[in-house]
Structure 1
Amino acid sequence: MAMLRLLAISLLCGAVAVPFLGEPRGDGFEHARYAVLVALVIGQVVTVPIGSVAGLVLAATGSWPRTPGYVLGSVTTACGVVVAAQARAASRWIDGSPPGLRDPEDSSLAVAAAFLSGAFTICLGISLVVMRWSGYDPRTAPVRRGRTPRRRPRTP
């Protein structure tokens, strides 16, 4: 559970790079959208490996076994939907060959990476919510359900 939790947190923490790297090259909302998506992908390239290693260490030591909550799953899903929707809109804008972009093919690749990141974030968020909703708790042993022998009534 620590692995999934820290993976979700590291995907969300990729947004920390946006204020530092998200400087648009042109004027207009589309250029700003593209710059934010590229900065988000760059931030996730840095934060996801760190979160994955920390999650592996916590999972190997057995600490933090609690199931992630509804809030983390919901926020992760919502952020994934926003990123995927913005990446799809930016992809349509890039396909129209906008002025001000140096190489539309590289831009399409960066937006595709952002779309895949958003889709993966959606899947991770939904899986966190479903695991929490199903009542999965890794600290408990699975209950074996089977047929139990019935007692025969005593005859006097």
Structure 2
Amino acid sequence: MIPLLHSPRGDGFEHLRLDALISLEIGWFLMVPISLVVGALWVGFFGKRSRPAPPGFVLGGITVAFGALVLSQAMAASRWLNGSPAGVGDPDGEYVIAAFAELSGVVALLIGAVILISRGAAVRHSRKTVVLGPTSH
């Protein structure tokens, strides 16, 4: 992913954080549709292969951590934008971007939690053993 698609408008960490969130949102708007199309084509061409393993604990943990990072940074940017910062052209428009980033962080947290819960349930289900009783011949 391209770290910053354009240079920050002002000096300081807050402007850099806001610019990183804007770049993240632009990247998601570009990459999610492309990934869905490529994935659909990939499944269409290679649909007869065996079913892949379900997502694991590492993917769920990374997704939760990424969602928490995006959410915390978006909340900090929202608080900064509520204070009428200097160097921001349209605080309302930038606030909408920060709010959308907060929503993205929450969605990533939820998806990560679902992955972790479903994988935990699959592991728990696979560990159940069937004890056969004695048979009489």
Using the size of structure 2 for normalisation, the TM-score is 0.79
Structure-2 separation of matches of 1:77 and 1:110: 21
Gaps of 5+ in 1: 1-15, 137-156
Q: Would the alpha carbon gap of residues 130 and 113 (structure 1) be closer, same or farther in structure 2, given more than 3 Å must change? A: same
- Corresponding residue number in structure 1 for 2:132: none
How much has 1:65 moved relative to structure 2? Answer: 3.0
Q: Would the alpha carbon gap of residues 55 and 35 (structure 1) be closer, same or farther in structure 2, given more than 3 Å must change? A: same
Residue 42 (structure 1) aligned with residue 26 (structure 2): yes
Using the size of structure 1 for normalisation, the TM-score is 0.70
- Corresponding residue number in structure 1 for 2:12: 28
| Paired-residue identity, % | 41
How much has 1:67 moved relative to structure 2? Answer: 0.1
Q: Would the alpha carbon gap of residues 112 and 78 (structure 1) be closer, same or farther in structure 2, given more than 3 Å must change? A: same
Structure-2 separation of matches of 1:65 and 1:91: 40
- Corresponding residue number in structure 2 for 1:148: none
Residues 66-97 of structure 1, C-alpha deviations (whole Å, 9 max, x = no match): 20111111101100000001000100000000
Q: Which of 100, 107, 129 is residue 94 of structure 2 equivalent to? A: 107
Q: Which of 98, 105, 115 is residue 85 of structure 2 equivalent to? A: 98
Gaps of 5+ in 2: 124-137
How much has 1:59 moved relative to structure 2? Answer: 5.4
Q: Which of 97, 100, 106 is residue 119 of structure 1 equivalent to? A: 106
Q: Would the alpha carbon gap of residues 57 and 73 (structure 1) be closer, same or farther in structure 2, given more than 3 Å must change? A: farther
For the aligned residue pairs, the C-alpha RMSD in angstroms reads 1.8
- Contact kept, 8 Å, 1:22 with 1:38, in 2: the verdict is no
SS at match of 1:23: coil
SS at match of 1:93: helix
- Corresponding residue number in structure 2 for 1:76: 63
Q: How many residues align?
A: 120
- Contact kept, 8 Å, 1:87 with 1:111, in 2: the verdict is yes
Within 5 Å, which residues of 2 pair with 1:9-28?
16-19=1-4, 21=5, 23-28=7-12
Residue 132 (structure 1) aligned with residue 116 (structure 2): no
- Corresponding residue number in structure 1 for 2:134: none
Structure-1 separation of matches of 2:115 and 2:81: 33
